[in-house]
Amino acid sequence: MAIQSTFLKPKTLVLGLAILSMLYGIAAYALPGNSVNRTYYSNAQKTHVVGHYTLSCSGAHHSSGQVTNYSKSTSTPCHH
């Protein structure tokens, strides 16, 4: 009795490779090119902090406080 492997069938192999390449493409596309830290202030003079926003290279983001028109941002390139 011969054991037949379904993984080695050409259609299954092509389908598996297509799915893997799609997943890799989605993961690479979804990650940001820069990490971002943004601080929000209550006024144009930027004397009183009222909020923060952070986006990490892993794509995680966190925000707290208030978003205003007065902000200062810094970004750092991600090395994926």
Tell me the chain's radius of gyration from C-alpha atoms: 23
How confident is the model over 33-75, as pLDDT tens digits? 999 999 999 999 999 999 999 999 998 999 999 999 999 999 9
Secondary structure (DSSP) of 4-68: --STTSHHHHHHHHHHHHHHHHHHHHHS-SEEEEEEEESSTT--SEEEEEEE-TTS-EEEEE---
Closest CA to 37 of 1, 7, 64: 64
User: pTM of this prediction?
Assistant: 0.61
How confident is the model over 11-39, as pLDDT tens digits? 776 777 777 676 665 555 578 899 999 99
3-class secondary-structure state, position 69: coil
pLDDT of residue 46: 96
